[in-house]
Amino acid sequence: MATVHPPEKSLMREDEDEKEKARKRNNEIISSLGKEEGWMEEYTYEYQGFWYPSVTVVEGVMWVQQNFKPRHEDILLVTLPKSGTTWFKPLMFAVMNRTHFDLSTHPLLTTSPHDLVPFLELYLRHKIPFPNPDTFYPPQLFQTHIPFTSLSQYVMESQCRIVYICRNPKDVFVSTFYFLEKLRDKKLTSLSLEKAFELFCKGVSLYEEGLLFSSQKIAEFMGYPFSVEEEKQGVAHDILELCSFENLRNLKVNKTGKIITSNNNQVENHRFFRKGEVGDWKRHLTAEMEDGLNKLIEQKLAGSGLAFRDSSEA
């Protein structure tokens, strides 16, 4: 069995004088940031061309940029909020650790994916203790909402693998709206769907066909390809069953547990499992909203060869 260990202490190294200097520099930068009406709190802040829901989150991003030093063998999952993070965390964790855990007693059955896969802005910035190290085997799998262009030079200079997840912006908007309306500061008036849509289109937002094939490609990229024997035994299929949206949503830990967000709020785990389907936006967006987002998507993806599916139909 591989030797288990928590993340290296070098991730946290920085003497007190340097910490104080960094805090002062960060505070000066934060005081000059542009801001707009917020989704969860009164304001949302623009940092390095991207919008973050609070000063606390911006501080967390800065701290990660200045301190997170991945090892070459580590893997980083980079996602926009509400783009499939809660599904890809368990999938990648299960792929990496498939030789260490039996499916019948797998940690995912009793532990939230957000506890098994460290969320950089949360764990490192606030020094919240990592989960039981018995669930961590080298290399480490981390997750962040920090955009690629804002990742630190330490990440860029390392050889760590980066898995980036992108979801149809129309589905992202709907999922984000219904997730964040539950977290919005009770002192603020409610945020209408129309106002949220306006903010989303301005960029002011928080940062199942082919699944078997996709999981195999991801496993290969991560450096954990399925062997011929594993494919014969249906290991990839078993992992997909374990990590399916329905299975995860119905587990007790994901129905009753809570996690602490980077704003120090407690969020019930079931909030992360809404519908998980392609095309749900059709039930919520007006024709005018759809047209506006379609034009924005076309503009942003022009010349890339990329496109989004608008439904789960083939």
**In the numeric block, which tokens belong to residue 83?**
């783009």
> How do strand 141-144 and strand 75-79 relate by DSSP bridges?
parallel
Q: Of 106, 145, 237, 270, which is the active-site residue?
A: 145
Taking the CB of residue 169, how many other CB atoms lie within 10 A of it? 22
DSSP secondary structure string, 105-119?
Answer: G-GGGTS-HHHHS-B
| CA 127 from centre of chain | 19
Query: Residue 35 belongs to what H/E stretch?
Result: strand 34-37
- Beta-carbon contacts of residue 256 (< 8 Å; ≥ 6 apart): 268, 269, 270
Q: What residue spans of 147-275 are helical by DSSP H?
A: 153-157, 169-180, 193-201, 211-222, 228-233, 235-242, 245-250, 252-256
- CA separation for the pair 286, 137 (Å, rounded): 47
**In the numeric block, which tokens belong to residue 277?**
């389907």
270 is catalytic: no
Map residue 202 onto helix, strand or coil: coil
Which residues are part of the catalytic machinery? 145
